[in-house]
Amino acid sequence: MSVPLSILDLAPVSAGSTPQQALRNTIDLAQRAEQWGYHRYWLAEHHFVAVASSSSITLIGLVAAATSRIRVGSAAVQVGHHTSASIVEAFGTIDALYPGRLDLGLGRSGHRRAQFGSEPAHPKGGHPVVDTVTGRTEIRDGVVVPPPFDPGRIADRTKFVASLRALQQHGAQALDFADQIDEVQALLNGSYTTPEGTALHAVPGEGAQVELWLFGSSGGESAELAGRLGLPFAAAYHVAPGTALDAIDAYRAAFRPSERLAEPYVVISADVVVAADDATARHHAASYGHWVYNIRTGAGASEYLDPDTAAPLTAEQRRLVDDRLATQFVGSPKTVVERLAALQHVTGANELLVTSIAYRHEDRLESHRLLADAWGSRAARAA
């Protein structure tokens, strides 16, 4: 089965470059992605790290202005850092100028304090975490499924906790995730009322032609909620390869038809680096482990290192990132297309969402171009 390809962009900052250049690179890639036939262009939201997509909704507006056909959206707005009204009004403003092209992806990352404090990691169920040191890696029809990564292995949570505090007003508390999704839907469809019974209408925002998505990485609340509400669901294999397939199973098990969808609709993400041959692709991806290592030590995403000069990871460092290295899709177009096809087959995904990071912008462009060409050729043969 041939399915559409879409792009997830973090606007990464390369070592020696600047956030300003990263943003220019994002606009350039988005314009080329439209030419190459990608279906969607989604922006991630990350804060206080070396990626330039922190104000992802602003960047979505800029990408929409610079393109004409490709769908543009969020992957995902971290709702714990935003009020429902601010989200709907912002997307409504962009939709007013570029109607019918926006995907409003929502995720509960801003609610995840429990994983970094003393509360249970999964207060509403889901799956227990397993240390990658002791668990087993499974291969499902060519798809690598490592043990789930245990956030408890992140030794220094200081920056993460400080970031959460900085992203909310003093004393503010995020709504329950399901309640906030209800608010967003009500503001979009014009049925919102305050707890006191006052009707409020988002201007712009009410009636906006946006597609609502939920994002998740495990078989917990996000996947189940997306299923119950009959919304499309995006599973983050590129971040959580050990639990993303569980998330898809939970979504499908909970799915109820809605006005939006008669059947489940799944997008699954993959981290991809493509080059003319396997060896070149491996070289371009050689500093990916360093980037993930910094994230998992608690420091957050660092500037992306030049693979020509980055020292190899030590054996101990590799132990912290082995699952992400094993599940990165690296190689020639043929190699990567075969692995992506396996991922689509195993998950039954309706779309594939690829994210690619490389030190040189031209290498990232080439990765996406080669993949688009190869995937399109595969689709033509299948037809």
pLDDT at 110: 55
In 10 A of CB 60, how many CB atoms? 26
CA atoms within 13 A on the CB side of 224: 10
Check residues 149 and 122 and name the one with the higher pLDDT. Answer: 149
Q: Cβ–Cβ contacts within 10 Å for residue 142, how many?
A: 12
Residue pair 71/101 in contact by the 8 Å Cβ criterion: yes
Burial 359-376 (b: 16+ CB within 10 A, else e): bebebbbbbbbbbbebbe
Written as one string, the DSSP assignment of 235-247 is E-TTT-TTTHHHH
SS3 233: strand
Of residues 234, 235, 241, 216, the one with CA closest to residue 329: 241
- Reply yes or no on whether the pLDDT at 274 is more than 80: yes
Contact residues for 49 (Cβ-Cβ < 8 A; gap 6+): 295, 300, 301, 302
Q: How far is CA 332 from CA 251, 335, 359, in A?
A: 33, 5, 18
pLDDT for position 135: 73
Nearest residue to 205 (alpha-carbon basis) of 91, 102, 105, 72: 91
The pair of three-digit structure tokens given for residue 296, joined into one six-digit string: 């998992």
The label of the residue with tokens 């350039």 reads 28
8 Å CB contact between 331 and 340: no
pLDDT score for 171? 83
DSSP SS3 for 51: strand
pLDDT at 227 over 90: yes
Q: What Cα–Cα distance (Å) separates residue 24 from each residue in 66, 76, 165, 281, 371? A: 11, 21, 30, 24, 22
pLDDT of residue 123: 32
Look at residue 130 in the predicted model and tell me its pLDDT: 34
Would you state the structure tokens that stand for residue 363, as one six-digit string? 């290498």
First-to-last alpha carbon distance for the chain, in angstroms, is 10
- What is the mean pLDDT of the segment spanning 288-313? 96
Mean pLDDT of 289-316: 96
pLDDT at 154: 85
Alpha helices, H only, the chain: 19-36, 56-66, 84-97, 158-166, 177-189, 221-229, 244-254, 278-284, 288-297, 315-326, 333-347, 361-382
Mean pLDDT of 270-296: 98
Across residues 105-116, what is the average pLDDT? 64
Q: What is the mean pLDDT of the chain?
A: 92
Residue 338 clears pLDDT 70, i.e. is over it: yes
pLDDT at 126 over 70: no
pLDDT of residue 170: 87
Regarding predicted confidence, which is higher, 340 or 170? 340
* Rounded (to 5) percent helix, strand, coil in the chain: 45, 15, 40
Q: Calculate what percentage of the chain has a pLDDT beyond 90.
A: 84
The mean per-residue pLDDT over the stretch 118-124 comes to 34
pLDDT at 115 over 80: no
Tokens 């660092």 belong to 302
- The widest CA-to-CA distance across the chain, in whole angstroms, is 63
Least confident interval from 101-115, 138-152, 204-218, 262-276: 101-115
Cα gap 348→63, rounded to integer Å = 30
86: tokens are 């601010």
Domains of the chain in start order, with CATH, are 5-382 (3.20.20.30)
Residue 129 predicted with pLDDT over 90: no
pLDDT score at 124: 33
Question: CA 28 to CA 143: how far, in whole Å?
Answer: 32
State residue 210's pLDDT score.
98
Bridging pattern class, strands 266-274 and 351-355 = parallel
Quote the pLDDT of residue 383: 60
pLDDT at residue 204 in the model: 98
pLDDT value at position 380? 66
Q: Is the pLDDT of residue 172 over 60?
A: yes
Q: What is the pLDDT of residue 113?
A: 45
| pLDDT, tens only, 15-61 | 999 999 999 999 999 999 999 999 999 999 999 999 999 999 999 99
Which pLDDT belongs to residue 53?
A: 97
